Amino acid sequence: MTEQTATRRFDVVSLGESMLRLSVPIGARLDAAQSLDLAIGGAEGNVCVALARLGRRTGWVGRLPEHALAQAIMRTYRADGVDVSAVRHVPNERLGTYFIEYATQPRAIQVIYDRADSAAAHMTVDDIDWAYLLDTRILHLTGITAALSDSCYAVLAEAIHRARAAGVLVSFDVNYRARLWDAATASARLRPLIASADLLFCKSSDASLLFGCTGEPHDLLQGLQQLTAAPAIISTFGEHGAAGLVGDSFIRQPALPVQIVDRIGSGDAFAAGVLDGWLDGDGNNIAATLREGLRRGVALAAIALSQYGDCVLTSRAELNAVMSQQRGDIAR
């Protein structure tokens, strides 16, 4: 860590869309629901919440309408310790929403988005407080924001350009969403963005579908390595855990056993864990830093999988307990 980065206001800042999440219990059908559970969701905000609960200084930047439901998002993030003072509020625009119908095998979980033409999709470079956004050690971005609109794509491109000029580490999670854009478009549009990342997250299925990277984890990561200047590349492999590549150093981290309650948000929890490890790392030994980040990422993802909701609600003590392989029992 340099003296310059140590004095920055935030550890991690992210920008993107946060939405209302409306869901029914497992076994219930959306088309027969009499009531819906309301929560907050959004990949970038999820990462900020997880890190804030671990004691990190985080800020979320977004564009929200001026109404009570948008204020619920603001209150939720503040309560979790995330700074939202740079959020832009605009009148007469809509808030993105998505609906979840939980299911167990053989049925799949159903997600229905209602986010087109949202306030976030209208974000432009003029909406961003650039001094705020860059007053951080790490800027975390995702491909979801790039998919929302051409103006959002331009915001990400500008954010990456400015972050690199300011010496801010750029973390980028591909996070492909097939309902936002097709694979061919996503591949072409994301390549220039990931090329300039410092930390690249790309789960194995996205690497295969978007970039043709296949094979064993080491081979897949080497394929991704050809697409980016990122010193560290990270991928997840479902029940087989995660892996990372730093130069020629290949690192594997097995998944932890978990009884899955809710898969949504686990990838964001994983990214948060990796970033948490990175923040504590030694810049002179990136491989060791990534190894610790993968340990924390896999553990935080397991915690997320064991609870409902996009945002993983945890603590440093709980993360440490899971990492030490303590089995869940009754905490007294």
Range of the domain at 216: 8-16+43-61+124-323
Beta-strand ranges (E) seen in 156-300 are 169-173, 199-201, 232-236, 242-246, 249-253
Structural domain includes residue 34: no
- pLDDT category of residue 327 using cuts at 50, 70 and 90: very low
Does the model's pTM come out above 0.75?
A: yes
Closest CA to 146 of 168, 123, 127: 123
pLDDT of residue 329: 43
pLDDT at 55 (0 to 100): 98
Q: Which uninterrupted H or E stretch holds 319? A: helix 316-323
Is 96 inside a domain boundary?
Answer: no
DSSP for 77-126, please give it.
HHHTTEE-TT-EEETT-B--EEEEE---TTSPPEEEEE-TTBTGGG--GG
Structural domains counted in the chain? 1
Q: Write down the catalytic residue from 83, 268, 276, 310.
A: 268
Predicted confidence (pLDDT) per residue in 83-141, tens digit:
999 999 999 999 999 999 987 778 888 888 999 999 999 999 999 999 999 999 999 99
**Is 311 part of a structural domain of the chain?**
yes
- At 270-294, the pLDDT tens digits run 999 999 999 999 888 999 999 999 9
Residue 53 covered by a domain = yes
Mean pLDDT for 67-92 is 96
pLDDT in tens, 186-198: 999 999 999 999 9
What is the average per-residue pLDDT within 312-319? 95
Residue 5: which pLDDT band, with cuts at 50, 70 and 90?
Answer: low
Q: Quick check: is 135 catalytic?
A: no
CATH assignment of the domain containing 201: 3.40.1190.20
Looking at the domain assignment, is residue 91 inside a domain? no
Whether 155 is covered by a domain: the verdict is: yes
Q: Establish if 286 belongs to a structural domain.
A: yes
- Closest listed residue to residue 65, CA positions, set 113, 114, 122, 128: 122
Domain membership of residue 26 (yes or no) is no
